[in-house]
Structure 1
Amino acid sequence: MAAHRESNMVKIITACSMLALLAVTPSFATTKPISSIAAIVNDEVITTADVDKEYTQLQKEAEKLPVPERTATRSTALNRLVDRKLVEQKIRELDIKVSDEDVRLAIEDVKKQNNLTQEALEQALAGQGLTVLQYKVQLKEQLERMRLMSQEVRSKIQVGEREISEYYEAHRADYGGSETFHARHIFFKLDPNGSAEQTAKTRKLAEEVLAKARSGENFVDLAKKYSQDPAAAKNGGDLGTFKKSDMLAEIGNTVAAMKPGEVSSLVASPAGLHIIKLEEKSQEKGRPFTEVKESIEEQLYRKKSEDRFNQWVKDLRNAASIDIKQP
């Protein structure tokens, strides 16, 4: 299972969490240093040149996001480098190794999944400004991190049957199992061009009828007597069976929050005022649990992994010696 997840996570595109591959080479043409220290993480240095490179990458990633989410700062870039450095140090501490054969098999897996020949892979990498050798270094680092994740995070995560079942029941609509409602209403029309006096008179009547409905008077009889929706009134205000999205948003949202037998407060819509009684609520079957169980388990597992990994990195930070010199 872990090996399967490991191979599936290998991507041709450089992952955002990869370390910068190319070391900064000092220039001997000038006596000025090309970079200064941005941070020291457990006695290991992150330079401002490292931050510059990460910041550039962050800006490229931000360009692909919706405008409101395009936030790229040097502080964010530095924090990513600090987290990456801590993970790198943990890999060395735990002596996690990835062999050349592991990398070769990962490349073969990438080629197979993307239906690529060796030549096509090299062309795809060249399009990203990478050589095969650089890509192998990236894959090795990525596999090391995945093994660290498996050892320190994923091995400690469990997703139980009950948890999967509860998620399925709470998200049936996501699997084609929409809720349906059978309801009645008593409608009071409000003229948008009417006077304040007319509006107040209509609202007062609606409140009086609402009090009658909530005191136990027969809703069907009240609808026939008072409702100004002629088509529904003759059938006791019957709206039939419908999905939430089939109705005005004001009515759909109201019935979705009600229990069968319950009478709503006055509901205002663009047409007027409604008193709604929910007769029945039911759930369409949709895709069966057995069909979606595996995908739900994977989704819950992934979410737990992300949450636990983020907490794990926070714990690493708390235990580390981190000296931020400049963003």
Structure 2
Amino acid sequence: MRKEWLLLLLCLLLPVYAFALELNRVVAVINNDAVTSIQLDKALAAAEPGTTPAIDERRQVLERLIEESLMRQRAEEIGLTVSDDEVEAAVQDVLRQNRLTKEQLDVALAQQGITPDDYRQSLRRQILRFKLVGREVQGLIEVSSREIQDYYAANSTAYREAASITLRHISFPLAGQDAQVQKERGDAALAALRAGTDFATVLETARQDGADGGDMGELYLEDLTPAFAAAVRDLPVGESSELIANEQALHLLIVTARTPAKVRTLDEVREEIRNQLAEQKRSTAAKDWLEGLKKRAHIEMKL
């Protein structure tokens, strides 16, 4: 009787075991490593929370997991690792750049269904990839002076800087005000400015009657409304415009500085171009290197 019960229990458990195997089947083999369907589903959930991915999306995420496996294997081969201190430094960088506390970061991650440990593992993989690719391809990255000169010659228009203008303003609001009274206040402020009274004094007097104003900073004419641009286009430094009316207020604009248009020289942008070209080469070299890893590896996809 005991043997019969054991046989019955085994028959009941076999379908459950088979179902579990199906749930966690192997979807890719990479040399001696494997990616399971559970790992793939977890990566998909992190990439597209709350959605049902299409076949193409599953394949793309699986290809990324295959690449991560290849890089992990290569890192192990050459003894490259990522320390806990490096991961912690990366977390602190994220907190600092986004002005978050650790608690706020944990809440944001939880809203996306990501645990702090999963997030740290993701950072560890990113750091490993960065270190590995840098080690493997950095020696291949060289940018010659000729390449920099040729790039500058072909893209010189990108280094043209438009003329800029630095402005101050005083505005006399019209909402709930007598327009004629506000015009008279504006005219008085304009007369004071043109008589040589300093801007701060004129603004302080105007504020007593509800006006507003201050520095507008350095701007390009195309940043201004057509009416403002027309008023200051040819206005000399130190001069004030006539009153400019719109629906909200009457405005005075004062030009405090002008910077003429110019083209940045090759010497000014040399390092900028060098870094840009180096990054392009680094990206291409990294793709070629990764393709080389794939070609030398035994890879089977079983989607």
Percent of counterpart pairs with the same letter? Answer: 32
Which one of 105, 108, 125 corresponds to residue 141 of structure 1? 125
Please name the residue that 1:310 is paired with. Answer: 287
* 2:44/2:58 contact within 8 Å kept: yes
Is 1:47 paired with 2:36?
yes
Whole-Å Cα distance in 1 between the matches of residues 286 and 91 of structure 2? 26
Equivalent position to 1:150, from 126, 134, 140: 134
1:190-244 alpha-carbon deviations (Å, 9 max, x no partner): xxxxxxxxxxxxxxxxxxxxxxxxxxxxxxxxxxxxxxxxxxxxxxxxxxxxxxx
Secondary structure, in 3 states, of the residue corresponding to 2:114? Answer: coil
Aligned to 2:143: 159
Partner of 1:38: 27
Residue matched to 1:292: 269
Partners of 1:109 and 1:55 in 2: CA distance: 26
Partner of 2:114: 130
- Output the TM-score relative to the length of structure 2: 0.53
Within 5 Å, give how 1:175-214 maps onto structure 2: 175-176=159-160
Unpaired stretches in structure 1, ≥5 consecutive residues: 1-26, 64-69, 179-283
What secondary structure sits across from 2:142 in the alignment? Answer: coil
Name the SS of the counterpart of 2:28 in structure 1.
strand
Q: In structure 2, what is the equivalent of residue 86 of structure 1? A: 70
Q: TM-score, normalised by structure 1?
A: 0.50
Q: CA, structure 1 residues 29+134, in 2 after alignment: closer, same or farther (shift >3 Å)? A: farther
CA distance in 1, matches of 2:68, 2:35: 11
Superposition deviation, residue 156 in structure 1: 2.6
1:115 and 2:99 correspond: yes
State how far apart, in whole Å, the 1-side matches of 2:55 and 2:75 are. Answer: 30
Q: Tell me the amino acid that sits aligned with residue 85 of structure 1.
A: S
Where does structure 1 differ by over 6 angstroms across 4 or more consecutive aligned residues?
none
Aligned length: 188
Q: Which has the higher helix share?
A: 2
Question: Which residue of structure 2 lines up, in the alignment, with residue 172 of structure 1?
Answer: 156
Query: How far 1:318 sits from its partner (Å)?
Result: 1.2
Specify every segment of 5 or more residues in structure 2 that has no aligned partner in the other structure, as ranges: 1-12, 163-260
Q: Which amino acid aligns with 2:108?
A: A
Which protein shows a greater Rg?
2
Distance 1:74 1:311 in 2: 23
Rounded Cα–Cα distance in structure 2 between residues aligned with 1:41 and 1:295: 40
> What CA distance in whole angstroms lies between the structure 2 residues aligned with 1:171 and 1:102?
39
Question: What's the CA shift string for 1:37-73, capped at 9, x where partnerless?
Answer: 222111211223334444556667x99xxxxxx9944
What is the deviation of 1:316? 0.7
